[in-house]
Amino acid sequence: MKCKTCGGKAVVNLKQHRLALCKEHFLDWIPDQTARFIKKYRMFGPDEKILVAVSGGKDSLSLWDILLRLGYRADGLYLGLGINPPSESGLGYSNESHRLTEKFASERGLKLHVVDIEKTYGHSIPVLADNSQRGRGKPCSVCGVVKRHELNRVARDMGYDVLATGHNLDDEAAVLFGNTLSWSADFLSRQWPVLPERDGLARKVKPLCRFYEKEMAAYAILRGIEYIYEECPFSVGSTSIYYKELLNKLENDRPGAKMVFYISYLEAKSNGMFVEPETIRPVLNACPVCGQSTSSTGECSFCRMIKKVSSQ
Ligand code: Q46
Ligand code: ZN
Ligand code: ZN
């Protein structure tokens, strides 16, 4: 197998793109494509200040690396979720992911914001999940509320123009698959590589949304990025992993099917399908405690949850 660009020995074979590349040209291809997607979906301009949500995983650390290689001003934000049951690394999932994120940032002299949820609000994610109505047996729902709240808070309070996350094609296709199974019109109308800024909610972008997960793993490994291999222990048995497995079966039989599923959706949307009806757009109010936008008339779900668990 030869590199399509230089004719040297190819190390990656991107079947879905009918493209084989050597290490050097693959490591250039990923940022080139990312730059194309940033422009195509009008994610941000060259002078905007970007906050990258980093988890210690391959996608978010690679995203940070790519944005810096493209010349953007990008700082990182790590949320310490306190998920530390005994794990492969012996350190616990959150401790190990924090260590690797700090290492990545310090080796490159980068600015990393860290918010430890337990130190800041008194409770880790597992404790919040065990003690709030929302979380019984399902920490991911609590975790989602906390992440959304904190990412937005730091982006807004620290004056960033845009919040970037490392969601890849496999993540987006799984979400799309779930929304399609239930024909969730409001979610289908909102899923897009960019969520514009609105009523105090920071603009959110997903520059890696058109790369396969395995492409990002190859990028991280070939770039020598040290990332956490283990998954969050609470992801085991989740619906999104089940959907990913189903889509992988399809992809195995028909290479490229996952990409066609997601990209055809983006094209259909650009052509006017799934327009967001005004009637399902919730009116947003400011939470009287934290000031963040919420669709409820009183305190936001994050503040209600912290108050409830703290009063027990
Ligand atoms: S970190 Fe949080 Fe995920 Fe763990 S508890 Fe669930 S949502 S699985 S990406
Ligand atoms: Zn080459
Ligand atoms: Zn609030």
The tens digit of pLDDT for each residue in 100-129 reads 999 999 999 999 999 999 999 999 999 999
Q: What is the mean pLDDT of residues 48-63?
A: 98
Laid out side by side, the sheet with 73-80 consists of 112-116, 73-80, 49-53, 162-164, 203-205, 194-195
Q: Whose CA is nearest to atom 6 of ligand 1?
A: 140
Q: What is the mean pLDDT of residues 146-163?
A: 97
pLDDT of residue 137: 67
pLDDT of residue 187: 87
Query: How far, in Å, from the CA of 147 to the mean position of ligand 1?
Result: 9
Does the reported pTM lie above 0.75?
Answer: yes
Q: Which residues have CB atoms below 5 A from the ion given as ligand 2?
A: 3, 5-6, 8, 22, 25
Query: How far, in Å, from the CA of 231 to the mean position of ligand 1?
Result: 9
Q: What is the mean pLDDT of residues 150-160?
A: 96
Q: Which ligand ends up closest to the CA of 285?
A: 3
| pLDDT band per the 50, 70, 90 thresholds, residue 99 | very high
pLDDT digit string, tens, across residues 76-94 = 999 999 999 876 667 899 9
Please return the burial class of 107, using the count of CB atoms within 10 Å of its CB with bins 0-12, 13-18 and 19+: exposed
Q: Which ligand ends up closest to the CA of 8?
A: 2
pLDDT of residue 283: 81
Residues with CB under 6 A from ligand 1: 83, 125, 139-140, 143-144, 232, 234-235
Per-residue pLDDT for 280 more than 70? no
Q: Which ligand ends up closest to the CA of 149?
A: 3
| pLDDT band per the 50, 70, 90 thresholds, residue 244 | very high
pLDDT of residue 279: 59
pLDDT of residue 226: 98
Q: Which ligand 1 atom sits nearest the alpha carbon of residue 125? A: 5
Report CA-CA distances (Å) from 188 to 30, 165, 174, 182, 268.
Answer: 27, 19, 12, 10, 11
pLDDT of residue 71: 98
